[in-house]
Structure 1
Amino acid sequence: MTLKKIISTSLILLFFGVLPAQNVLQKANTFINSLSEEIKSKTLFNLEDSERFNMNYVPIPRAGATFHDFNETQKTAALDLLRASLSEEGFRKSQEIMELEKVLRIIENNDADKMPDGRPRRDPLNYHFCIFGNPSKDKPWGWRFEGHHLSLNFTSTDGIISSSTPTFFGTNPGIVRSTEYKGKEVLKKEAELGFSLLHSMTPEQLKTVVFTDVAPHDIVTTTDRKVKQVEQLGISYKALSKAQKKTFMELLDLYMNNYEHEFATGFRDKINKAGIENLTFAWAGSLKPGKGHYFRIQGPTLLIEYDNTQNDANHVHTVVRDLTNDYGEDLLKAHYAKDHKH
């Protein structure tokens, strides 16, 4: 059975309610129990291991087992864990980003470009699974799914997903111009809503929204474990018109809707408590598609970045950072403090 068939079959099962979408703990243990001791040695790490913070989104050697290591049962279990950790929309995007590796292999036509292990650099199976700690209701643990243009980081405390950030999605090509995938644009809605909000601004508002006419070459937070001080720029939510506020919230919800439902609900509550009126929207670069552009939504607890500058502005990087709880660090501190008292 191919990876594509496994994905399709699992989606059918999910639709009919056979695969509970939120039971991450069960899915994690099913996945671990399916692995041989050899594969476990590649996959399992201590929760405190520094590897947990080794985020990256370019095609480099990584820790963790990949689909190349798995038999069909293990592939299915791995994908079930990923699906349970995301919304259906987030899962779809992750699979389509992996498929873009096939496009790059065709359009780059460079068979000599290999990873150190001899496999092609562009490889839809070269995505890595790492489990940190022992999946349990009582003790914190985490896991990561990562490869080219994907870095999905999850932490569980008290039996639920307590952190799903940093969350990185990327696409190259942003819009596929050739091959059988021509016209595919995985992050299309992000681009459309960003430009829609920008183009709704009055000339006076644009003076506040656009902070430079040259977009940064990449997201400014890159792979930092902790987000360094990023100046909050742009127009505040409270300065928007009613129609602009609606578009702003559609864009924010688009990002929140990538997450598993219960986590997304908690993340939204956290943003609301910090004050929607304290969020800002800022833009850099071209005001039209086709040239380098960048936007961000920022507030006391949240930073969303979207950058499309590379490959003639047809190469997207976008990330969500929880400024207080990336990698679950804030909730882990609270958990350990509670345990210490007991």
Structure 2
Amino acid sequence: MTNDAFVKLSKAAIALGSAVLLALAGCTATTTSETATASTTATASTTATSTATASSAVAAVVTAADAFLATLDSSQVAEVVLEITNDNAAAWSNLPCGSDCRNGIEFSTLSDTQLTAAKAVLQAALNTSTGAGYDQAMQILLADDVLGSAGSGGGGGGGNYSSGTYFMAFLGQPSADGTWMLQFGGHHLAVNVTYSKGAVEGGSPYFIGVEPTSWTGSDGTAYAPLDTMKDGIEAMITSLSSDELAQAKLAESYTDVLLGPDQDGAFPETKSGIKVSSLSDAQKKLVLAAMTPWVSIVDDHSAEDLLAVYESELDDTYISYSGSTDLTAQGDYVRIDGPSVWVEFVCQNGVVYADQIHYHTVYRDHTRDYGGELSF
């Protein structure tokens, strides 16, 4: 081959190589662009699906609420539908104080048809898993029947223990795109779910307690409605080493939850205990698992959204305790305090069953109590 022929062949090879590289570059750019477009489309699709799911869940609650209101006369509707105000929102309690400390219409005054419709609202609004949400709430009502049958006419807050002494109210008119709140509660139970623009904006404050902590029904069914909560809290706090327990120990003693009724916005200015960022991955999972039963008061989709926020804030969350970690005696107390989430669990001496302990707990959110719609 002559030198001239070799040079021409080399130039042709270089030209061909350049063309191939340009083609590959173009293909890569196209692939990257297509991948980015596909990713954006997938994200938009997921967001749209999530929004549609939330809107569908709220629509179901509104449909049930409207159906319940349709069973009531005008005076009963006036008892149920109230304005959204600070005073109305804060009118809840864990005490057996009837209508003196809470809003709404009393279950004992409803006909069978009306009661069924009222419970349908709760079924639509709350988690439907066994032992959570609606099922757990109904077990608290059963516990009050147990207390009533125990024959005590007194007790803390004045007695009057009965599954009929629970109340339902709507703060604002139920709407698929407006802002309103579902309130339901009585002794040892206060549910506050806030809706806005077709989504759950908050499932707190949520108080749940129980006395007795366990019992067997007349049909042989065993009940222990807060055992999942207790077990999760206990697994979390007992996972700490002796050095970690020393960091988590609170200087104060507690005989009740700190942020119960009439304590809106009263979060401690300084967080106490051990920071979750210092714990192992396994312990972090226990912290998230411990708070889950409280967050799961609302529907599955809304609970998942809230838990995703709390998980993202886990490293800046603190856990602490007072008393012992056995959770078997008066004053045994555990707290989870994050940038958003707040959970308390405390053991108290029994009121009706004085030889036993019973549980008080509360779930709050630093920014989402009452859906963040009110300031305290």
**TM-score for the superposition, normalised by structure 2:** 0.74
- Kindly indicate whether residue 101 of structure 2 is the aligned counterpart of residue 58 of structure 1: no
Tell me if the contact between 2:98 and 2:166 (Cα under 8 Å) persists in the aligned partners.
no
Deviations 1:201-256 (A, max 9, x none): 211111111224x7411000121352313231112222112322222222122222
**What RMSD over aligned residues (CA atoms) do the two structures have, in Å?**
2.7
- Kindly indicate whether residue 344 of structure 2 is the aligned counterpart of residue 323 of structure 1: no
- Kindly indicate whether residue 264 of structure 2 is the aligned counterpart of residue 226 of structure 1: yes
User: Which residue in 2 is equivalent to 1:31?
Assistant: 68
Q: Which has the larger radius of gyration?
A: 2
What one-letter code is carried by the residue in structure 1 that aligns with 2:133? G
TM alignment of 1:166-315, pairs within 5 A: 166-176=205-215, 184-212=223-251, 215-224=253-262, 226-230=264-268, 231-273=270-312, 275-292=313-330, 293-311=332-350, 314-315=357-358
How far apart are 1:177 and its partner, in Å? 8.8
Pick from 43, 49, 72: which aligns with 2:112? 72
How far apart are 1:262 and its partner, in Å? 2.5
Distance 2:184 2:154 in 1: 27
How far apart are 1:301 and its partner, in Å? 1.2
- Report the 3-state secondary structure (helix = DSSP H, G, I; strand = E; otherwise coil) of the residue aligned with 2:152: coil
Distance 1:226 1:36 in 2: 33
- Report the 3-state secondary structure (helix = DSSP H, G, I; strand = E; otherwise coil) of the residue aligned with 1:154: strand
Pick from 155, 178, 191: which aligns with 2:194? 155
Deviations 1:265-308 (A, max 9, x none): 221233244x2101111111123242121101111111111111
Distance 1:56 1:103 in 2: 20
Tell me if the contact between 1:219 and 1:317 (Cα under 8 Å) persists in the aligned partners.
yes
Distance 2:113 2:208 in 1: 27
Structure 1 residues 93 and 105, CA, compared in 2 at 3 Å: closer, same or farther? same
Pick from 58, 74, 85: which aligns with 2:125? 85
How far apart are 1:258 and its partner, in Å? 2.6
What one-letter code is carried by the residue in structure 1 that aligns with 2:118? A
How far apart are 1:172 and its partner, in Å? 0.9
- Report the 3-state secondary structure (helix = DSSP H, G, I; strand = E; otherwise coil) of the residue aligned with 1:211: coil
Distance 2:221 2:121 in 1: 30
Distance 1:177 1:72 in 2: 26
Tell me if the contact between 1:103 and 1:181 (Cα under 8 Å) persists in the aligned partners.
no
What one-letter code is carried by the residue in structure 1 that aligns with 2:87? S
Distance 2:235 2:193 in 1: 31
How far apart are 1:183 and its partner, in Å? 6.0
Distance 1:285 1:182 in 2: 33
Tell me if the contact between 2:232 and 2:290 (Cα under 8 Å) persists in the aligned partners.
yes
Larger mean CA deviation between 177-186 and 224-233 belongs to 177-186
Larger mean CA deviation between 68-77 and 165-174 belongs to 68-77
Distance 2:285 2:154 in 1: 49
Tell me if the contact between 1:175 and 1:314 (Cα under 8 Å) persists in the aligned partners.
no
User: Which residue in 2 is equivalent to 1:97?
Assistant: 140
Larger mean CA deviation between 230-239 and 73-82 belongs to 230-239
Distance 1:42 1:110 in 2: 29
Tell me if the contact between 1:216 and 1:309 (Cα under 8 Å) persists in the aligned partners.
no
Tell me if the contact between 1:218 and 1:317 (Cα under 8 Å) persists in the aligned partners.
yes
Structure 1 residues 181 and 297, CA, compared in 2 at 3 Å: closer, same or farther? farther
Tell me if the contact between 2:335 and 2:344 (Cα under 8 Å) persists in the aligned partners.
yes
Identity score, percent: 24
Instruction: Give 4+ residue runs of structure 1 displaced > 4 Å after superposition.
Output: 177-183
Distance 2:119 2:309 in 1: 29
- Report the 3-state secondary structure (helix = DSSP H, G, I; strand = E; otherwise coil) of the residue aligned with 2:200: strand
Q: Give the unaligned 5+ runs of structure 1.
A: 1-19, 334-342
How far apart are 1:111 and its partner, in Å? 5.0
Distance 1:182 1:265 in 2: 30
Tell me if the contact between 1:44 and 1:132 (Cα under 8 Å) persists in the aligned partners.
yes
Q: Give the unaligned 5+ runs of structure 2.
A: 1-55
User: Which residue in 1 is equivalent to 2:17?
Assistant: none
How far apart are 1:21 and its partner, in Å? 6.2
- Kindly indicate whether residue 77 of structure 2 is the aligned counterpart of residue 40 of structure 1: yes
Distance 2:104 2:267 in 1: 31
Structure 1 residues 254 and 64, CA, compared in 2 at 3 Å: closer, same or farther? closer
- Report the 3-state secondary structure (helix = DSSP H, G, I; strand = E; otherwise coil) of the residue aligned with 1:309: strand
